Amino acid sequence: MYSKKRGFWGWLKGDRRTRLQRETLGRDTLEIKYMYMLEGFLGVQVQESFAVLGKDSTALIDVRIDEGMQFVYGKKTITGEHDPTLDFYLNKTLADLKEGEPINYFEVRAASFEMKTVLANSGYPYATVVSRVDTVANQSIAPIGFIINADSLVRYGDVDITGTHHFPTYTASRELKIKKDSIYRRNDILESQRRLLESGYFSTFQLNQADSTVNRYQPDFLLNVRERKPLYVSFETGALQSEERDLEWEFFTAFGKRNFLRSRRLELSADYSFSVGGDSRLLRNRYRLKLSDPWPLGFRMPLSLSIDANPRIKDATQDFDKASWGVTVSTTKRYGRKLRINLGLVYESVDISGVSEDEILLIKLQEGNSARRKLYLNVRRDSRDDLFVPSYGSVTEFSSEFFGGFLGGDENFFKIETSWSRYQILWPGWISATRIKAGWTDAFGASEFIPSDELLFLGGANTVRGFRENTLGPLLPDGDPKGARIIAVLNQEFRWKTIQVLRVLPFVGGFFKALPLWQTVFFDAGNGFDRRHEIKPENLAYSYGTGIQIISPAGPIRLDYARRIPTDKIGFASRWHFTILYAF
């Protein structure tokens, strides 16, 4: 029921359902009817009344229910006028309506809607679907019939585009999947809107059926766009803490042109970082020229070429000078809304000076100091229903990098990382989130070593909690982490919307009404290894804990408390983690 008896927790949460309001009776009736109609009681009747008790304004709520007969699914039929080649897809929409199970009224409605979607995506947007449950015979087994009137086949007419001034009209028309005389499909309209947004040329747009359409079976469309500015300048600055300095100050500036050579994009940027304090000096400087073509050779497969230059500068922590430059060519291919593939080639040259030749060889094994040639491939499939708090769907990621070999460079090695995350509702309000992650890197050919920044690191708020960031795995003789060649991680979380204690705080309670409070319990397991034979359950690190999250517009703000489970190789410890976004 919507109504709740007032208690301590109801008061603490500020639950408005504990107060009798104008909509209370209607909400109660709907909630009860909803429960019954999920279980086949299609004729349920609910009457509700209330009476005030005593001077404290408490009320007695009286609910009277006439359940009626419970019905179960009988034979399912599809009749009416429609293209028989669609029968396979139409019957698939009835998969959840299993004979002998209680009739779920809302599943029947959903099946009708899915049938209309199938028809609309096959050229019949004016189709109607009527569902009928045969309860006249007064028997518990009720046949269900779906009557379809597909109407006539519809094809696209003309598309008129307005609002383009700085960009060629084809920057909009080429993103449209609506082509004259092709069969009308609702998904084409939705996909066209997504592609227009991704193109980056337009801040807003409206794609609607034209009012001037004469033939309803070949409707015209009107696309009105608002362009983004073709020229732009950006500037960012701020302080940060890094591994090299307690305090740094960064400057970033960029100048860009979105209609370079009509529809290409050109951007020139500069990035500087200075140390602040007694040893104030320039730590990093980078200049980048980037050219992007969203449709190279007539294909929707954005191609980018960037050239980076890092003039000679003294290293941030050691006594040598370094200069570098690099070229990156990359492309991206999307398949629908879920799958994205990235492919790229990186050519980087590094020049170390100010030290002996023997020292240069050692320096190149350290972070970011070796000349690298890299070919990479990234694949990501994301079917989550929500970016920040997903309740169903999954994310599958695979990345592979090939360094050296026929490409040249100082070192020859490869790196492969993959992960799979799954989200599902266990019961109303509770979400299960599971992740499996693995990685492997190794040298080949004449190389024996892998640069330290290309090794794999674990531990911290987003991998195995209960450890400091990047401290889990193989260690150097001095106890510092050296990075792993193989990693394996398992995470399991349970998430739910918890008691909204922040809403009852004085002065700030109103602010937190728009920021729901969630809670999690979690279990993490994983470790990093040098060799494959070391991957054993007894060599893994285990931790468990709980956390709270404030769901802000920028994502969950997360505070976790984790405790390690002691093993023969890893001792007990506990740790707090504060960060933004869920671990996965």
The CATH number of whichever domain residue 217 belongs to comes to 3.10.20.310
Buried b / exposed e over 241-274, threshold 16 CB at 10 Å, is eeeebeebbbeeebebebbbeebbbebebebbbb
**CA distance to 40, 109, 172, 273, 388, per residue, from 146 (Å):** 18, 11, 40, 67, 38
482 and 500 belong to one structural domain: no
Nearest to 199 by CA among 302, 99, 322, 268: 302
CB 290 within 8 A of CB 272: no
Mean pLDDT along residues 333-352: 93
356 and 367 belong to one structural domain: yes
Buried b / exposed e over 313-334, threshold 16 CB at 10 Å, is eebbeeeeebebbbebebbbee
268 and 330 belong to one structural domain: yes
Distance CA 273, CA 244 (A): 12
Tell whether the model's pLDDT for residue 104 goes beyond 60: yes
Residue 266 domain flag: yes
105 and 60 belong to one structural domain: no
How many separate domains does the chain show?
Answer: 5
Q: Which two tokens stand for residue 265?
A: 């994009």
pLDDT in tens, 492-502: 999 999 988 88
- Residue 15: what are its φ and ψ, rounded to 5°? -70, 115
Residue 3 domain flag: no
Which alpha helices (DSSP H) does 314-356 contain, by range?
none
Within 13 A of 290's CA, how many CA atoms are on the CB side? 20
**CA distance to 269, 332, 360, per residue, from 294 (Å):** 20, 9, 41
Kindly calculate the radius of gyration of the chain based on its CA atoms and give it in whole angstroms.
31
CB 173 within 8 A of CB 162: no
Domain span at residue 106 reads: 72-149
What pLDDT band is residue 362 in, cutting at 50, 70 and 90?
Answer: confident
Query: Is the Cα torsion angle 574, 576, 579, 583 positive or negative in sign?
Result: positive
pLDDT in tens, 137-160: 678 899 999 999 999 999 999 999
478 and 573 belong to one structural domain: no
Q: Which CATH number do you get for residue 352?
A: 2.40.160.50
Per-residue model confidence (pLDDT) at position 452: 84
Residue 2 domain flag: no
384 and 520 belong to one structural domain: no
User: CB within 8 A of 472, min separation 6: which ones?
Assistant: 457, 458, 459, 463, 464, 481, 526, 527, 528, 541
Residue 235 domain flag: no
262 and 349 belong to one structural domain: yes
3-class state of residue 465 by DSSP:
coil
Concatenated DSSP letters of 489-529: EEEEEEEEE---GGGGSTTTHHHHTTS-EEEEEEEEEEEEE
Quick one: how far is CA 256 from the chain centroid? 28
Nearest to 83 by CA among 124, 126, 129: 124
Mean pLDDT along residues 7-30: 63
**CA distance to 99, 462, 466, 533, 567, per residue, from 571 (Å):** 56, 20, 11, 22, 6
Per-residue model confidence (pLDDT) at position 91: 94
| Total number of residues shown for the chain | 584
Element (H, E) at 342: strand 339-353
396 and 414 belong to one structural domain: yes
Owner of token pair 């591994």: 243
Owner of token pair 């028989």: 84
Quick one: how far is CA 444 from the chain centroid? 35
pLDDT in tens, 400-424: 999 999 999 888 999 999 999 999 9
Q: Which two tokens stand for residue 373?
A: 């040639």
- Residue 462: what are its φ and ψ, rounded to 5°? -115, 5
Farthest-apart Cα atoms in the chain, separation = 96
Distance CA 498, CA 87 (A): 45
211 and 325 belong to one structural domain: no
**CA distance to 80, 174, 301, 385, per residue, from 128 (Å):** 10, 32, 38, 28
Last residue of a domain, one of 89, 114, 149: 149
Could you tell me whether strands 393-403 and 373-382 are parallel, antiparallel, or unpaired per DSSP bridges?
antiparallel
Per-residue model confidence (pLDDT) at position 368: 66
Counting Cβ atoms within 10 Å, is residue 506 exposed (0-12), middle (13-18) or buried (19+)?
A: exposed
Residue 28 domain flag: yes
3-state secondary structure string across 412-425: CEEEEEEEEEEEEE
Mean pLDDT along residues 526-538: 95
Per-residue model confidence (pLDDT) at position 374: 96
Q: Which of 33-42, 74-83, 210-219, 238-247 has the lowest mean pLDDT?
A: 238-247
- Residue 13: what are its φ and ψ, rounded to 5°? -80, -10
Q: Which two tokens stand for residue 228?
A: 């983004």
Q: What does pLDDT average to over the chain?
A: 90
Last residue of a domain, one of 98, 119, 149: 149
Q: Which two tokens stand for residue 584?
A: 């996965």
CB 113 within 8 A of CB 96: no
Residue 61 domain flag: yes
390 and 450 belong to one structural domain: yes
Is pTM beyond 0.95? Reply is no
Residue 236 domain flag: no
Nearest to 108 by CA among 131, 129, 88, 92: 131
What pLDDT band is residue 244 in, cutting at 50, 70 and 90?
Answer: low
264 and 409 belong to one structural domain: yes
Q: Which two tokens stand for residue 509?
A: 């309670």
3-class state of residue 480 by DSSP:
coil
Q: Which of 34-38, 121-125, 337-341, 344-348 has the lowest mean pLDDT?
A: 34-38
469 and 507 belong to one structural domain: no
User: CB within 8 A of 84, min separation 6: which ones?
Assistant: none
A 10 A CB-CB count for 454 gives 19
Residue 411 domain flag: yes
Last residue of a domain, one of 122, 149, 176: 149
Owner of token pair 């285990």: 542
